[in-house]
Structures are given as C-alpha cells and as structure tokens.
Amino acid sequence: MSAPTEVEVGRAIGARVERKEDQKLLQGQAEWVDNMHVPGMVYLGIVRSPYAHARITKVDVTPALAHADVVGAWSGADIADEWQGSLPCAWLPTEDTNAPEHKPVAVDKARYAGDAVAVIAATSRGAAEDAAELVEVEYEPLPVVVDPEAALADGAPLVHEEFGTNRCYTWTLEEGEIDRLFAEADVTVSERYRQNRLIPNAIEPRAVFVTAIPANGEFTLWSTTQVPHIARVTLSGVTGIPEAKLRVIAPDVGGGFGSKLNVYAEEALALAVARMLGRPVKWTETRSEGYLSTIHGRDQVQEIELAATSEGKILAVRTKLTASMGAYLQLVTPGIPLLGAWLYAGCYDVQGYSFECTGVFTNTVPTDAYRGAGRPEATYAIERAVDALARKLGMDPVEIRRLNFIREFPAAIKAGLTIDSGDYDASLDVALEQAGYESVRAEQRARRTAGDPKRLGIGLSTYVEMCGLAPSNILGAIRYSGGGWEAATIRCLPTGTVQVLTGSTPHGQGHETSWSQIVSDRLGYEIDEVEVLHGDTAVVPLGMDTYGSRSLAVGGVALYYAADRIAEKGKKIAAHLMEVDEAQVDHVRGTFHGPETSITLKEVAFAAWTAHNLPDGVQPGLEETYVYDPPNFSWPAGAHVAIVEVDTETGAVELLRYIAVDDVGTIVNPIIVEGQIHGGLAQGVAQALYEEAIYDEDGNLLTGNMVSYLVPSAAEFPRWELHHTETPSPTNPMGVKGVGETGAIASPPAVMNAIVDALAEDGITDLDMPATPERVWRALEEARR
Amino acid sequence: MIPAPFDYEVAESVDNAIELLGTREETKVLAGGHSLLPLLRLRLTRPSLLVDVGRLDLSYVRDAGDSIAIGALTRHHDVATAPLLQEHNPLMSFAAGLIGDPQVRHRGTIGGSLAHGDPASDLPAVVLALDGEIDIAGPNGVRTVRAAEFFRGVFETAVGPQELVTEVRVPKLIGDHVWSYLKFRHRAQDWATVGVAAVARRSNGGVADAAIALVNMGATPLRAGAAEAAWIAGAADPGVEADAKTEPPSDTNGSADYRRHLARVLVRRAVEEAEAR
C-alpha cells in the first residue's frame, strides 16, 4: 500500500455538512420506483398461500383470466419454464449445506404463509388485487413447524422432504483448549437467550418496475434494492437474460436495513412477465404483504457458557446457536448468524473459543440480513453473559469488564481474526462519567430502601463489532460467493466540476454528501461541485453495493485512492504545463504548486480535455478508477449505558436515559454519523422492548401489520445522548470505520442488562426480548411465588 | 391494500344520509374514516355503498345548559382543545387528547368512534363513565340513547343500519368533581391495553356518584361496579375487585389475566390520581 497523505480533519472531512440529498426528499422530488408510470404498463398481483405448509393440489387461474382487466395469470407450474435457476443463495457455509430449490412461484408445495402460488398481470393495481382473489387454489394442509429447536426433533414435519431433515448446516469454529479451560475454571455460567424474530420496516416498501425492448432482448429493472450490481449478476442466472442485456437501477431508495440486500421472487417475476408479455411491469408490496414476503431478521436460540477464575477473569467462551433459516435460503440466509461467529467473546481477552451454529428450516418467512446481521446476536449473548458472571461473583458490571478488556492493538483474537484498533477503557470512562454511574447506583439503592415499586436499573454494553465487509480472501475462505471490494471513479470535467461514480449504492445513508466531502478534502472541489452517481449498472458498472457498514470503510477508501490517482496524473500534466520537473511540484487540495507558479486542478482538467499540450505518453482526459479490497474488516467499538425504570406493578419499562459512546474512527460527517446512531439505537431498543414477529403453532403470522407488530416511534424514546472517542483505523489512510449498525448492535444488551439490573434483587435474571410489560409482569409473578 | 369495489355517495343533509343508507343492504357511514378505511383496505369489510357524511354541519361543541353538546363530526383534536369542555368536563377533553396520534386526532370523529363500537377505544368508556347521551337520527326522527344502553357488543351499538349518530352530550361536572383517565398502552399511539375512566364528586370527606368505566375489558366498555362501591365506601384499595364481571380479550398486547391485573392496578391508581387532583 502507498503511504498517502492523511486527511485534514475539520475542513471538509469532519464538518457538519448538511445532506445534499435532503432538499429533493423533503420537497417530494425524489425518484421512487412506485411513482414510475409508462403507457402499456401492467401490474402484478400475487396469490399467496394462507397456509404455512400445504401441498398445492390444484391452481385454476381461469376465473382470474376472465376478469376484463387481466392480461395474464399463471400458476407456479405455468411459469416454471421461465426459470433457468433458483432464486440465489450466495453463501452455503459448508460443503454439505442443504440448499433447496427455490422457484419464484411455488409449484407443488407452499412452505410458509405468504409463499407465492400464482401471479396475475392486470392493467390496474386494483384489478390485479381483485383478480388475485379469483384464482382457485386447492391446498392439502400439512403439519407445521415454526420453532427452530422443534424442527430438529425426531419426527418433526419436514419443510423440504428431500433432505430427510430440517437441518440446513452445522458450522463450527474452535480455538484453544476449551474442555480443559472449562474443567479447570473456578466458576462457569451457562445462559440461554432467545433472539426474537424481527420484521424490517424500511419507510419505503419494496417495489419493482421493468421495461423491455423485446426486439433486442434487453430489460431494465428498477428496484428498491440495496444491491443493483448483485441483482444484475444473480437475476441473470435466475431468468437466463444475459448479464449484458440486463440493466438494474436502484433510484432513490427509502431505507433497507438489510431487507433490500436481497434478490426477490418479485424481481424475477416482473422480468419474466415482461418477457412473456412484451410490456412494462410493475409490482409494489403493501406493508402487510411485505410482512409475509420480505425477509425477517434474527430468530435464534443462543446457548452461551463462560469459564472464569474466581477473580472474574474470563478464560473461555463456548456458544451454540440454533438459527432459523425460515422456509428457503435467500441471498445470504445461512451466513447471517455466522457474521457474529468471531464476536461471542466480545471485547474481552480469552484463551479458548468455541462456536457452533446449526441452521434450521422452519415454515416461516426466510430470515436474512437485518441491521447488524449476526453481530447484534453475538453482542447480546456475550454482554448479558458477562453481567451474569458478574452477578455470580458479586462483582460490579464495570469492574468485570475492565478486568477483561483487550488492550493491545492490533489484537489477534482467539477466534482467529485481528482487531485493527481500539481503546475500550476510553469509551467506558466517558460513558460512566456522562451517565453519573455512581449517583444512579445511589438512587437505585435509595428507591429500594424506600420500597418504591418503580425500580431503577443501569445497564452496560461494551461492544466491538466487525464491519466494512470485507476482505475478499476471507469471504472466499468462509465460502461466500462474491468479493468484498468496492470501486470508485473520479472524472474531472472540463468546466470545473467533477463526477464521482461509486459502486456502493446508497438507500438513505447520504453517500452524495460524504463522498463530496472526501473529494473536497482530497482535490479541493467545493461540495456543490461534486456530482455523485450511483445505483445504475449502466452508469456505474462495477460495484458491490451497500450493506454491512461497508460504504465508507470500503467505497470511501476506494474514492480516496482514486483521488490519489487523479492527483498523480494531474501532477504530470501540471509539471508539463509549468515547464518544471514533476518532482518540483506539490499537490495540495486541488492546487499544483511549482517552484514559481502554481496551477489548479480545474485548469489541468481543462488542459487534459483539450489535449493540446500533454506530456508524452499521457492520455487525454482526467478520469481515474480505483478498486479497493480492504485488508481487514473495520472494528468499531464503544460503551453504551441504558438507565431504565421498571414499574413492578404493571411490568412497564421506561427507558429514562440512553448514553452511547461510539468509537467509529475518523468521522467524515458528524450529522450523518449521529443519524446512523440514532436510527440504530431506535432499532436496537425496539428489539429489546417492542418488536417481535409472532407465529402461532399453525404458522400464521399473528403480528401481520403495524398494529400488532410494534415499531416504536420517537415518542417511545428518550433524547439520545451521543458521545465519541476516536481511534482511527490503521488499515486505511482515512482512519475510518463503519457506523451503520453500531446502534442496533450495542443497544439490545444495554437495555436488557438495565432491566435485569433493576429486577435482579426481585429474583429476575432470566428475561427474554422483547421485555414487554406482560413478560416482565409474568417474570415478577413467577419470582414472587 | 386496495378496497374491494364499492359505490360512494356524499350526503347533503342528515335526512339525505338516512335516505342513502336505506338504498342498499350493505352500507357504511364514512366520517373521519380512521377506523373504516383500514378495514376497507384490508378487505375485512366490503360494503356496497359508502355514505360520506363529512360535509354535514355536525362539528361543534356547545353549551346545552346542564350538559355540553358535541356534534358527531367533531374531531378528537377539537374535543381535546374545546375551552367549554376543558372548563366543564376536563375528563372528556383529556381522554380525547390521548387518542392515537395528532394525525388520527385531526381526522377521527367522536360520532364515528362511538358508532364504531370498538371496546378498545377511549371515548366509549369515557362517555359511559360520564353517563352521556347519544342522539341517533333515523327514518323516524331522532332518538336519544343513554351510554349505558348504547354499546351492545364488539363493533355493535344501538345504531341501526339506517341510522346516524348526530350528537353526544356529556354533563357539566358541577361542584367539586375529581377525575382521572389512565390509559395503559405499550406505544404512545396504541389502543389501550386497558384504560380506566374515573369520576366522582367530593362529599363529606369522601366521594359520591363515583363512576368507573373500563376500556378493553370486554365486548363493550364496562362499568366497574364493585370498584365504584369500594371507592364510595372509602376502601384502602378500590381496585381489588375492578375486574369483577369483566371478560377481557387475549391478544398479542396482553392476555386476559394480565388485563385483569392491569385493571386492578389502574383503578387503584386512577382513584389515587383523582383524589389528589
């Protein structure tokens, strides 16, 4: 790696630049997929199975075809010839992973409530919905399994009979003398946690729009996707449309949180129907349809054991996960729990590490990436288990953390990876000071002494996570099908503005602003002089898209290096124009200084465009691309403190204060970082206190809309108290780390530890998420018995 | 998310509305739409005709002597902020201010809320506790029904298929009244898991005319008679029997057992809060 100049923090990088994207969003001028209309367009209506598990004995679409506004209707069998392959799963973690066929429309069997069984094309959306009701489907209901542990039991109904089991895979990782460490430990704790199943709720539901040029066999797919580049590669495989004839565009996309890091049946269906009819096709999910057709998150049973000395030094951690895949494997379903595989010892130094995960098929909506993807689960388990250990030893949760922190960096952790940098004490110091830890403890004791039925609790979460996905060679080693690189192109236009092409596709993160700040820092352009293009495979052909807090730490670094290349070429031209030796020229933020005169990058860009007077061997134009493959993940960390009040009469939990101290390396835009943390905290606290997808034993989703699936609003939260420590990452020249998921990763254990802290003296240490009033009340009732 | 096909008529007058309601078997009145539209969009209800009463002149809060008259189309926000109610019946305005969120309160109407007959709604229990009166217009003119006779079952009220709620009257709380409305819900904009409306008049160091009504503890809003008697008798904890003769539902927001427990706690707290007022 070259030794680039460091960024200047506080000028463009680090400045509170307001988001360039917001004006058009706030003024209703954004380009949403569902707003697209062209003549001749048809709308898809999808008939979905009301049964979680049923043989499909008959599908009759003729009554739907009789509807005046219907132009086509197909059962799964009718449309089967359109598919060249299954919907993609890019991560089969073991050689013997059971990977079922996954057709966009089910043919013989429906495997979850919501599985598509027929599709309608009609000239209006209303007609598509009306006609979907007319399709006659006969089902033969089969026994259902929704719980991942029950699915592994002998005699459980089989989601995919061909495997003879519901086990999808078992993946293990073991380092150190685990058995000896546990046998010799003074003390062990053994905990069991449930990761509640969550339903992602992006503000924009999913939508798909396809236009075709039948004469050329060319298709353009507009999709509310995080991953247009991955969609292009994989949908080509599903539909047989050559990659070169398929253009995928992600216009403005209203959030994803992982739910749009996927390749869905409806995208393939819209392409197939457009190909069959030769007409434009649109489909937009409703919120309640999305709950049955867009991936869910989490849903794991976690067993974690710690071995420790009587002083509280943790020796080893042993984890066993049973993770629900749902009924099929979506894009990265099996790999999601494994993204936490290295993090079950958290930020603590251990000698032994054992991890085992079994993926299990159930008759539920497939699970996949949801903000944090594997790392919230790991952080939750270790942070709660450390508190359990502290309780067992009569230690303060702060003390036990301090005793076990990793302190030397880069840190080769027992699980096998290397943490780039960190200072866990620094974050914890700030968090405790801001929380007023000792005074909260004093009030907690005072309330208890006074017999106040409203208990106070304070909970910690000292987390580290790995993001910035990812070094391609590591992805290959764990059997992920793609790479983890990212591409950036800078094109200096002749009239003084500049274009950036980024393969990292934003869906609300504000790339246009942050990327402009980086270009401004490196090349001296004003923020408004930078145009950032993204999300269209015809404009930006090379990209790996946006997920896993990778944009800045991978795509942003690619941009940094592309700027270096611009400066390098620019310097050659500038030296030539100034008639000095290249070694005599210094580049500083868009100005090339020679011994006597200087010339700006904009002037150089114009000279490169006219090409009247270029040095020998230098091509016209000033455009450079850099494809960056990160040498390591980035490892943000921090200390979060939750302070809760628990009403022991009603079970209600109120989050009184939340203090988040995050260390995400160099901050490019503090406003955007704060926004990311706010949203992440909201989603993490939602997991701890509100959200849970509940299936009944027949596989009906009981929480099928926003009345019963409790997405909290701002009214449920305190004012977030954000603070930062800054430990730059040494693995990239900007020192940046990811920030998109930290809030969702750190906050569930902080909140749950606070509730248990409030109630431990009442005898409650075993409490699952979400800590709803009734669940807390029941735990109290049980403890009172 | 698109309703099944239906016809739509705008009523020009109350009489016209009644007439339109008589033209079909399956008709629905559209007022604020905040209960009806979600049901339509989920296709859980499929009327052949919607009669939009939104343009009728039924949005008002007036002094009616011993009572305050509230037009059926008065929005929850206007009930919550009407000075006449804040002065003469603060229980009513306070409870209306807790409905849903600001958007809901600016669309939903008091007449619609009562006629919809959802036992989880706030205003039915409040009007029951206040012993309010409801005017119902029909083909034979206007009749007045007391709140105690108005609510019949889940989504069932005294309003017939060809009838329309036109006005609600609640008494002025004259003298030394105490009141409380406690709404236990998980999120701010949720329906009550359980709600308690309590009102009484101070008398001889205790209270008289105590009324306690419960939200979401049965098929209709319910008076908690045993708790009312306990309050009047000056019991240390008037909530002990608050769930007597209730049949609370079980759903993902709370089991019946939990709702019974909540009713007991909330009634005690409501009485405490009322007396401390």
Which tens digit of pLDDT belongs to each residue from A82-101? 999 999 999 999 999 999 99
Between the alpha carbon of residue A377 and those of residues A478, A710, B13, B24, B263, the distances in Å are: 19, 20, 60, 56, 36
In sequence order, the 6+-apart residues with CB closer than 8 A to the CB of A473 are: none
Polymer length of chain B? 277
Report the pLDDT value the prediction gives residue A9, as an integer from 0 to 100. Answer: 74
Homologous superfamily assigned to A33-142+203-255+260-293: Aldehyde oxidase/xanthine dehydrogenase, a/b hammerhead (3.90.1170.50)
Task: Give the other-Cβ count within 10 Å of A416's Cβ.
Answer: 12
A614 touches chain B (CB under 8 A): no
| Gap from A775 CA to chain B (nearest CA, Å) | 9
Question: What is the mean predicted confidence (pLDDT) over A704-720?
Answer: 96
Tell me which chain B residues have a C-beta less than 8 angstroms from the C-beta of A129: 1-2
Q: List chain A residues with CB under 8 Å of B40.
A: none
Q: Contacts of residue B101 in chain A, CB cutoff 8 Å?
A: 713, 715
Both tokens of A91, joined, read: 């991560």
Residue A739, min C-alpha distance to chain B (Å): 28
Burial of B249 (0-12, 13-18, 19+ CB in 10 A): middle
| Cβ-based contacts of A125 with chain B (< 8 Å) | 2
Mapping DSSP onto H, E and C, the string for A246-289 reads: EEEECCCCCCCCCCCCCCCHHHHHHHHHHHHHCCCEEEECCHHH
Residue B190 with chain A: CB contacts under 8 Å = 707, 710
DSSP tag of A19: P
**Strand-pair category, A637-647 with A720-724:** unpaired
> What confidence tier does A220 reach under pLDDT thresholds 50, 70, 90?
very high
Q: Count CB-CB contacts under 10 A for residue A762.
A: 15
Residues of B whose CB is below 8 A from A716: 187-188
| Yes or no, beta carbons of B187 and A713 under 8 Å apart | yes
CB atoms within 10 A of CB A438: 10
**Residue A10 banded pLDDT, cuts 50, 70, 90:** confident
Please check whether the two domains, A22-30+485-628 and A373-467+633-784, share a CATH topology. yes
Quickly count: other Cβ atoms within 10 Å of residue A177's Cβ.
Answer: 14
Point out the residues of chain B with pLDDT beneath 70. none
Q: How far apart are CA A76 and CA A642, in angstroms?
A: 50
CATH 3.30.365.10 fits domain A373-467+633-784: yes
Instruction: Report the C-alpha gap between B174 and B178 in whole angstroms.
Output: 11
User: Which residues of chain A from 632 to 651 reach within 8 Å of chain B, CB to CB?
Assistant: 649-650
Strand partners, B49: B7, B27
Using CB atoms, pick whichever of B1, B193, B252 lies closest to residue A703: B252
Distances (CA, A) of A681 to A5, A393, A710, A742: 34, 30, 16, 8
Predicted confidence (pLDDT) per residue in A735-781, tens digit:
999 999 999 999 999 999 999 999 999 999 999 999 999 999 999 99
Interface test with A, best of B262, B267, B268, B269 (most A CBs within 10 A): B262
Instruction: Say how far apart CA A328 and CA A322 lie, in whole Å.
Output: 16
What residues of B are in contact with residue A713 (Cβ under 8 Å)? 101, 187-189
The two three-digit tokens of residue A523, written as one number? 């090349």
Question: Residues A538-564, buried b or exposed e (16+ Cβ, 10 A)?
Answer: eebebbbbbbbbbbbbbbbbbbbbbbb
Give the C-alpha separation, B36 to A286, whole Å.
Answer: 18
Measured in degrees and rounded to the nearest 5, phi and psi for residue A533 equal: -105, 140
Judge whether A672 and A514 are in contact, CB under 8 Å. yes
- Residue A6 — pLDDT band, cuts 50, 70, 90? low
To the nearest whole angstrom, how far is the Cα of A652 from the nearest Cα of chain B?
A: 8
Half-sphere exposure at residue A303, Cβ-oriented, CA atoms within 13 angstroms: 9
A613 lies within 8 A of chain B by CB: no
* Chain B positions in Cβ-Cβ contact with residue A710 (cut-off 8 Å): 186-187, 190
B208 touches chain A (CB under 8 A): no
Residue A162, φ and ψ in degrees, nearest 5: -60, -20
Q: For residue A61, which of A40, A51, A46 has the smallest C-alpha distance?
A: A46
Angstroms from B28 CA to nearest CA on chain A: 20
What pLDDT does A5 receive? 42
Report domain extents, chain A. 22-30+485-628, 33-142+203-255+260-293, 373-467+633-784
Distance, in Å, from the CA atom of A334 to the CA atom of A480, rounded to the nearest integer, reads 10
In one-letter notation, the amino acid at residue A301 is: V
Confidence of residue A344 (pLDDT cuts 50, 70, 90): very high
Q: Which residues of B touch A289 (CB under 8 A)?
A: 1
Q: A717 in contact with B at a CB cutoff of 8 Å?
A: no
Question: Do A774 and B187 lie within an 8 Å CB cutoff?
Answer: no
∠ CA B26-B28-B33, rounded to 5°: 150
Whole-angstrom distance, CA of residue B51 vs CA of residue A166: 53
Residue A778 φ/ψ, nearest 5 degrees: -65, -40
d(CA A188, CA A199): 35
Written as six digits, the tokens of A278 are 């030769």
Identify which of A702, A715, A773 has the shortest CB distance to residue B252: A702
Contacts of A142 (CB under 8 A, 6+ apart): A51, A53, A54, A55, A109, A157
Within 8 A of A130 by CB-CB distance, chain B residues are 4-5
User: Chain B: nearest CA to A520, how far in angstroms?
Assistant: 42
- pLDDT bucket at A104, cuts 50 / 70 / 90: very high
* Rounded alpha-carbon distances, angstroms, from residue B155 to A191, B119, B159, B170: 46, 8, 11, 22
Question: In Å, how far is A215's CA from the nearest CA of chain B?
Answer: 35
Q: Chain A contacts of B254, Cβ < 8 Å? A: 773-774
Please tell me if residue B148 touches chain A, with a CB cutoff of 8 Å.
no
The whole-number pLDDT of residue A11 equals 83
- Residues composing chain A: 785
Backbone angles phi, psi at A144, to 5 degrees: -120, 145
Question: Cβ contact (<8 Å) for A288 and B1?
Answer: yes
> Do the Cβ atoms of B130 and B171 come closer than 8 Å?
yes
Q: What pLDDT is stored for residue B61 in this prediction?
A: 98
Residue B44 sits at the chain A interface (C-beta within 8 Å) = no
Chain A contact for B4 (CB, 8 A cutoff): yes
**Residues A684, A690: Cα–Cα separation, whole Å:** 10
Residue A2 has pLDDT above 70, yes or no: no
Summarised one tens digit per residue, pLDDT across range A59-79 is 999 999 999 999 999 999 999
CB contact under 8 A, A703 and B4: no
Sequence-separated (6 or more) residues with CB below 8 Å from residue A616: none
DSSP B4: P
What pLDDT score was predicted for residue B5?
92
Q: Measured between alpha carbons, how far is A14 from A664 in angstroms, rounded to an integer? A: 12
Q: Tell me which residue in A126, A650, A713 faces B189 most closely, judged by beta carbons.
A: A713
Q: What is the mean pLDDT of residues A417-444?
A: 98
Tell me the pLDDT of chain A averaged across its residues. Answer: 97
DSSP bridge pairs for A488: A502, A626
A431-438 contact pairs (CB < 8 A, 24+): A431/A460, A431/A638, A431/A639, A431/A640, A431/A641, A431/A659, A431/A660, A431/A661, A431/A723, A432/A398, A432/A639, A432/A641, A434/A641, A434/A659, A434/A661, A434/A721, A434/A723, A435/A641, A435/A643, A435/A657, A435/A659, A437/A398, A437/A641
| Structural contact between residues A666 and A657, judged by C-beta atoms closer than 8 angstroms | no
| Beta-carbon separation of A772 and B186 below 8 A | yes
Tens digit of pLDDT for each residue in A629-672?
999 999 999 999 999 999 999 999 999 999 999 999 999 999 99
Q: Which residue of A has its CA nearest to B194?
A: A650
User: Would you state the pLDDT for residue B175?
Assistant: 82
Q: Which residue in this structure is represented by tokens 């048809």?
A: A42
Residue B168 · residue B178 · CB < 8 Å = no
Cβ contact A482:A475 at 8 Å = yes
Give B-chain residues touching A774 at CB under 8 angstroms. Answer: 254-255, 258
**CATH class as words, domain A22-30+485-628:** alpha beta
Most B CBs within 10 Å: which of A46, A124, A650, as the mutation test of the B interface?
A650
What pairs with residue B201 in β-bridges?
B177, B208
Residues pairing with A137 in the sheet: A59
Widest pairwise Cα distance in chain A: 90
Q: How many whole angstroms separate alpha carbon A136 and alpha carbon A62? A: 8
Lowest mean pLDDT among A8-22, A27-41, A371-385, B116-130: A8-22
Domains of chain B: 177-276 (3.30.390.50)
